[in-house]
Amino acid sequence: MKITNVHNLPAPLFDVIASDEYRKSGRFSSSELPSPPQMRVLKLRHDDEIVKDASDFLWLIQGKSIHKLLEASSGTNAPTGPAALDDLREKELVYDLGDGVAVSGTTDLYNGGVVDWKVTSVWSFLLGGLKPEWEAQLNTYAWLWRRHGYETRDLAIYAILRDWQKSKSGAGDNYPPIPFMQIPVPLWPDLQAEGYIRSRVAVHLAAEELPDEALPPCSLEDQWAKATSYALKKRGQVRAVRVFETREAADASTTPGTYIEERPGKRTRCEEYCDARPFCHQFLAEHPELAEPVPDAVGSQTEAPY
Ligand code: SF4
């Protein structure tokens, strides 16, 4: 991947971003397994051609900085957990499935339970709840710990909410009172985790054998697709009275002083996050208006690997 500096970030900041490299052990990381096979294969195959701007990585290095601080702290002031186990931070585990295929994962904290720190937005939790890929990621960590002789009591995400606003706390909508949330994650039985991991490895390996144009298409869920919706709003008010799935239903509910705001649907991952987009036949088929190759530095933001 080539990294540009279109926005002239200061040299020290650019250097930190350009020199930062995520290296994984094994063929499949725990965060990679849930990803769509088409996206993973295209990113691997076209890594040398992918161009991104340093500004895309600013949130990522903020998250990494917090992880580094948490890793470096001694843990002696930790309120719970045996002291010896508090030392198991940023521990990378690898397990060989055979035939040269290894699965790896780096746990932020193991204290009898598995904890994953995430630096993320408030709305990713309030709107989306627990993402299936995060549940799978943490259960892959637990599976790896079991393969190394450690049982896991429970799983949790500790989320630092980077865009939390004091003015919104206490305003309802379950808005968190502080910029931190602790989210429990369901712990899968070992058989379920093993089945999940082996099946995801199998679909990724099968995809590696296919040419770009024959890769398995991403599902709407993979694409983080949102359908077009219709918000019924009162004039002079920001919040919608109600949001409808169809124009007809919204039209039937209008009253004097209200109007309909169309909220166009989108495939958020494809349009805003996916580095594989310039090489993706599915994306071009679904967006014939973009028949020309997509210009440099697409994927205006970067998916955090945490
Ligand atoms: S651009 Fe969309 S369809 Fe193509 S690989 Fe990325 S997420 Fe999948």
pTM: 0.81
Show the 3-state SS of 101-137: EEEEEEEEEECCCEEEEEEECHHHHHCCCCCHHHHHH
pLDDT in tens, 23-82: 555 589 999 999 999 999 999 999 999 998 989 888 877 777 787 777 777 554 444 444
- All structural domains of the chain, each given as residue ranges with its CATH number in brackets, are 2-223+267-290 (3.90.320.10), 228-264 (no CATH)
Instruction: Quote the ligand 1 centre to 22 CA distance (angstroms).
Output: 22
* Ligand 1 neighbour 115 (Cβ under 6 A): no
pLDDT at 171: 64
d(CA 130, CA 59): 20
pLDDT at 138: 97
Residue nearest ligand 1's atom 8 by CA: 218
Going by DSSP bridges, is the β-strand pair 28-29/101-110 parallel, antiparallel, or unpaired? parallel
Residues 203 and 33: their CA atoms lie apart, in Å, by 10
Quote the pLDDT of residue 127.
Answer: 67
Query: If you measure from the C-alpha of residue 218 to the centroid of ligand 1, how many angstroms do you get, rounded to a whole number?
Result: 6
Which pLDDT score is estimated for 25?
A: 52
Does position 158 have pLDDT exceeding 60, yes or no?
A: yes
Distance (angstroms) between ligand 1 centre and the Cα of 162 equals 27
pLDDT for the residue 79:
41
Q: What is the mean pLDDT of residues 230-246?
A: 88
For residue range 81-139, what is the model confidence (pLDDT) as tens digits?
444 445 677 788 999 998 889 999 999 889 899 999 988 888 877 766 788 999 999 99
Confidence of residue 17 (pLDDT cuts 50, 70, 90): confident
Query: What pLDDT was estimated at residue 205?
Result: 96
